Amino acid sequence: MKVLVLGADGYLGWPTCMYLSARGHEIVGIDNYFRRNVLKELDSEPLAPVPDLHQRASLWEEHSGKKIHVHIDDITDYDFLLGVFRDFVPDAVVHYAEQPSAPYSMLNHDAAAFTVRNNLIGTLNITYAVREVNPACHIVKLGTMGEYGTPNIDIEEGWLEIEHKGRKDKFLFPRQASSLYHTTKIQDTDLLWFYVRTWGLRVTDLMQGPVYGVSTDESAADPRLVPIFNYDEIFGTVVNRFVVQAVAGYPLTVYGKGGQTRGYLNLRDTLQCVGLALESPSGKGELRVFNQVTETFSVNDLAERVQRVGRELGHNVEIREIENPRVEKEDHYYNPAYTGLLDLGLEPHYMTDDVVRELIQFVEGYKDRINRDAIFRGVKWR
Ligand SMILES: NC(=O)c1ccc[n+]([C@@H]2O[C@H](COP(=O)([O-])OP(=O)(O)OC[C@H]3O[C@@H](n4cnc5c(N)ncnc54)[C@H](O)[C@@H]3O)[C@@H](O)[C@H]2O)c1
């Protein structure tokens, strides 16, 4: 398959490029280095040094004999994106190229406006380029479980059948996000659903939970192939952040009561899920939704696990409850369905103590690069 990976330099994008390339797909990757550049502005360098995308593509070619073609440019520039679509004519596009941080989107007006423009115009441009060049192209778009929020009912896989005054219909499951970033992901879904209905596009929306981990089969060949890994409050996801805090001897920062429960998944499972979605595309005029998580934990569960394993490895790991800078429920019902990807063949990698131990040992290798000032900044929701 010819697969265009948007956001190819990112935490998920680069491992996806290698994973798909290793399986014989022809890959073109695009990234505008937004994430690298904003990390410099925020003085939050990644934990391990990350060669640029051209260098990583060359390294990958040295190790695998396979080419990944890359373009450093912005998908909100429609002429550029359309040009790549015309040259490559992809069978599928994997869309990761967004501003993905909830705290960043809540920083100030400029960051909020950037998040809205970047995420929505990027998604709009993809729909137009697909229609123009290859309407059969399968769009695999990364959504987030955060779109659903934490409703007091079970979360279905994308859709909900509603009976109202004696009549029935099926709708997208109600969404009520708790950050501007998550709100743009809802709007992405709405845009795609509109063009699925109107132009008959094929779309899979992967409602993903927070991802953790760093190693994949493909990065085992060379430490310079590991993905960009952040541990700061703005770009680090919670498990990755806790593990770095444990190694740095910085108390694990639990927001409020720590009862916030979410669905999580290992980086290796993101790759499997995207691969499975690509292998069995959605139909013409279908918006298919999968909840991409493998297990649920509260923040307290995660902190306690990282503390236990960290202490076994000799680290002094404390847990500190701090005032919650976000506006969110700290104690709530949470019961999402997530069987669709299992039915397609997903074999989950669960969060065992061994997995956490391996992650802590990875972080120990870069302990000298940890910037304690970047760990917590206290971006407030109001
Ligand atoms: N990492 C997670 O835990 C997680 C969880 C749920 C959903 N997601 C979703 O997965 C996607 C990827 O997340 P990630 O963690 O890899 O983020 P990331 O920031 O590491 O990757 C996104 C990449 O896209 C690039 N990019 C952003 N805007 C662009 C543009 N206009 N043109 C070209 N490139 C652009 C960035 O430079 C970055 O390299 C996001 O859409 C995010 O919403 C991630």
Pair 26, 73: CB distance under 8 Å: no
Torsion of Cα atoms, 161 then 341 then 68 then 61, to 10°:
170
Asked whether 84 lines ligand 1 (CB < 6 A), one says no
Q: Which atom of ligand 1 is nearest to the CA of 237?
A: 3
226 alpha carbon, distance to own chain's centre:
16
Torsion of Cα atoms, 67 then 73 then 74 then 77, to 10°:
-110
Among 85, 142, 182, the mutation site with the greatest number of ligand 1 atoms within 8 A of its Cβ is 142
| Amino acid identity at 165 | K
pLDDT score of 85 = 98
> Which residues 6+ apart lie within 8 Å of 336 measured at CB?
145, 148, 154, 155, 263, 291, 293, 296
Please list the rounded mean pLDDT of every run of 10 residues in the chain (382 residues): 98 98 98 97 93 98 98 98 98 98 97 98 98 98 98 98 98 97 98 98 98 96 96 93 97 96 98 98 98 98 98 97 95 98 98 97 97 91 92
pLDDT score of 242 = 97
The catalytic site residues sit at 144, 181, 185
Q: Pick the residue whose CA is nearest to atom 39 on ligand 1.
A: 10
Q: How many angstroms separate the alpha carbon of residue 341 from the centre of ligand 1?
A: 21
Angle at 365 between CA 363 and CA 366, to 5 degrees: 70
Q: How many angstroms separate the alpha carbon of residue 255 from the centre of ligand 1?
A: 24
Q: How many angstroms separate the alpha carbon of residue 98 from the centre of ligand 1?
A: 5
> Which residues 6+ apart lie within 8 Å of 166 measured at CB?
none
Asked whether 33 lines ligand 1 (CB < 6 A), one says yes
Q: How many angstroms separate the alpha carbon of residue 41 from the centre of ligand 1?
A: 17
Two structure tokens written together for 129: 């380029």
Among 34, 230, 293, the mutation site with the greatest number of ligand 1 atoms within 8 A of its Cβ is 34
Pair 206, 147: CB distance under 8 Å: no
